[in-house]
A and B are shown apart, each in its own frame.
Chain A
């Protein structure tokens, strides 16, 4: 089994200043990134951010307007999709409707002219890898959505590519199946050790599955980091609001020293944060806004004052999710309510709208970004 973190793994795909123009529209504005061998890499962003365009250029269905794509130390300019060491799982799965499951999976192998027995074995192995052992003789059009997805995956993996490209492979599945497939895909990727590149607009999916994520907006990578780093230290407001839920509060620096910056934060008051908590190269006077995650604030009930800082607020709305309750709380002197999530532990009362809440938080949970 491979490590989750592979900082020293070799680069399998190198993107260098890749741009793409569609007529007058610039869909990609200079993408530079290295994707490591054996990692699960995600391209995450809203629709129209250029993530699918980038994936299609790696696959060879489109050519960059400028810039270079290098796969396995080979420049890919002028190399068509059928000669690249990549295989794709399409969003629609693109299962050949006139062929059986086995013929779909073995489609790419046919060209290699293997002996019949070996071909059969390879196909059966690939089907077993995706839990479809024995499905070979079935007609492709009789499969369910989840099974199609597995066939598409087996069809790509059987080629033993350097990189598997997945274009929103789970978006057509229902929630339960999607959750299950996320874990299965992740496990499969670990066991085969092939680099996977996933395109998705679902931040939760990207966080669960990826080793590293490139967050894209408007044809640019805004941040490339591990899931944890993205969640904990988003570089800017866009990334912060795209990944998870974030409460934004206005803030400005009142004082700064070598090691610390003193902030005056709306509704929360004076907070000192270490200078290292600022994004690289950001000056204290550039701070306009800070963020705090819903789970980093606590609603203190039963007069248990166990937080570093406490502010008061009025409950505007409560949303009960079973395991969690989400509160909208209007903190002192603040027009827009903040969101606070609380785990519903045994015997814990749920506050009603209109009640006053004592909100506790730790000063080190404050996130600074551009």
Chain B
């Protein structure tokens, strides 16, 4: 339905159902939409990189250094999911706000003289909030990939002369790659289209394309344009995901030569 909508035209109250590409022309040429799309991609790529980089050590720790309470650790990692997404975003607002927990604490400690303003209502806040929200989704696939690595492979690498750093880069990381790729795609796809977080903590410079899509469907009353934006960003995200997928497959094969 969204796809069909994107080829129509909105005339105030009714829809002109003649086939047209005008919406796409507008979506791809208007500097505002292009800026928002690029910003969305930039933010979600940063979120993805930050999340995966933070998730890997956590997954690694649970997989390799926790021996008796693995289940408890995994359970604790999923605890944030017990509250609603909206609630968690609001909590970050409380933490990062002008008079928020973080600023009060830093002020109280005498580390800063006036509240930091660059942590809320901009892209940084969106990155922090999204990274936190999606961390478990990144940790779990990486954890599973690490768990599947036969520990005798690491012993064999050590036996053949590798220290811990070498065997990490020669054995652990290549074998954990499928988990890392899965984590990247799982985090990247939904964050591009997220609109609650940018809306609540992003301010004006943290707004993303999905906020614009929402506006088009709502206030601006131009559902066809919104649909065209949505379909466009869907294609972009799909393209990037495929790119990541094939790139890693090629690297994986290259390593086997």
Cross-chain contact B159 with A59 (CB below 8 angstroms): yes
Find residues 39-77 in chain A having any chain B CB closer than 8 Å to their own CB: 59-61
Contacts of B166 in A (CB 8 A): 111
Stretch from B129-137, B148-156, B210-218 at the A interface = B148-156
Q: Smallest CB–CB gap between B192 and chain A, Å?
A: 30
A330 within 8 A of B: no
Stretch from A96-104, A203-211, A234-242, A279-287 at the B interface = A96-104
Cross-chain contact A81 with B158 (CB below 8 angstroms): yes
Contacts of A139 in B (CB 8 A): 256
Contact with A111, one of B152, B162, B171, B252 (Cβ below 8 angstroms): B162
Contacts of A155 in B (CB 8 A): 156, 160
A87 within 8 A of B: yes
Question: Complex Cα distance A112/B157, Å?
Answer: 14
Cross-chain contact A87 with B159 (CB below 8 angstroms): yes
Question: Complex Cα distance A92/B155, Å?
Answer: 12
A334 within 8 A of B: no
Question: Complex Cα distance A199/B175, Å?
Answer: 29
B108 within 8 A of A: no
B110 within 8 A of A: no
Cross-chain contact B152 with A98 (CB below 8 angstroms): no
Cross-chain contact B161 with A111 (CB below 8 angstroms): yes
Q: Known interface pairs A61-B155, A88-B156, A92-B150. Does A98 touch B255 (Cβ–Cβ under 8 Å)?
A: yes
Question: Complex Cα distance A81/B164, Å?
Answer: 11
Contacts of A103 in B (CB 8 A): 256
Find residues 122-151 in chain B having any chain A CB closer than 8 Å to their own CB: 150
Find residues 228-257 in chain B having any chain A CB closer than 8 Å to their own CB: 252, 255-257
A90 within 8 A of B: yes
Cross-chain contact B153 with A96 (CB below 8 angstroms): yes
Cross-chain contact B150 with A108 (CB below 8 angstroms): no
Question: Complex Cα distance A110/B152, Å?
Answer: 20
Find residues 141-199 in chain B having any chain A CB closer than 8 Å to their own CB: 150, 152-153, 155-163, 166, 170-171, 174-175
The number of chain A residues with a CB under 8 A from chain B is 26
**Most A C-beta atoms less than 10 A away, residue of B150, B156, B163, B175:** B156
Q: Smallest CB–CB gap between A53 and chain B, Å?
A: 14
Q: Which residue of B lies closest to A59 (CB)?
A: B159
Question: Complex Cα distance A100/B161, Å?
Answer: 19
Contact with A100, one of B155, B158, B174, B256 (Cβ below 8 angstroms): B256
Contacts of B257 in A (CB 8 A): 100
Contacts of A87 in B (CB 8 A): 159-160
Question: Complex Cα distance A56/B158, Å?
Answer: 12
Cross-chain contact A92 with B256 (CB below 8 angstroms): no
Contacts of B163 in A (CB 8 A): 82
Find residues 103-134 in chain A having any chain B CB closer than 8 Å to their own CB: 103, 107-108, 111
Question: Complex Cα distance A100/B255, Å?
Answer: 9
Q: Known interface pairs A103-B256, A139-B256. Does A96 touch B156 (Cβ–Cβ under 8 Å)?
A: yes
Contacts of B161 in A (CB 8 A): 82-83, 108, 111, 159
Q: Known interface pairs A92-B152, A94-B150, A98-B175. Does A82 touch B159 (Cβ–Cβ under 8 Å)?
A: yes
Cross-chain contact B155 with A81 (CB below 8 angstroms): yes
Cross-chain contact A98 with B256 (CB below 8 angstroms): yes
Contact with A94, one of B153, B170, B256 (Cβ below 8 angstroms): B153
Cross-chain contact A88 with B256 (CB below 8 angstroms): no
Contacts of A2 in B (CB 8 A): none
Question: Complex Cα distance A54/B97, Å?
Answer: 60
A311 within 8 A of B: no
A80 within 8 A of B: yes
Q: Known interface pairs A98-B255, A98-B256. Does A81 touch B159 (Cβ–Cβ under 8 Å)?
A: yes
Cross-chain contact B158 with A94 (CB below 8 angstroms): no
Question: Complex Cα distance A83/B166, Å?
Answer: 14
Contacts of B160 in A (CB 8 A): 82, 87, 107-108, 155, 159
Contacts of A60 in B (CB 8 A): 159
Contact with B155, one of A83, A86, A94, A107 (Cβ below 8 angstroms): A94
Interface residues of B (CB under 8 A from A): 150, 152-153, 155-163, 166, 170-171, 174-175, 252, 255-257
Smallest CB-CB A-B distances: 9 pairs: A108-B160, A94-B156, A94-B152, A81-B158, A88-B159, A82-B161, A90-B152, A82-B158, A108-B161
User: Can you list 23 A-B pairs with a CB-CB distance of less than 8 A?
Assistant: A80-B158, A82-B160, A82-B161, A83-B161, A86-B159, A87-B159, A87-B160, A88-B155, A94-B150, A94-B156, A96-B153, A96-B156, A96-B157, A96-B171, A98-B256, A99-B255, A99-B256, A103-B256, A107-B157, A108-B161, A139-B256, A155-B160, A159-B160
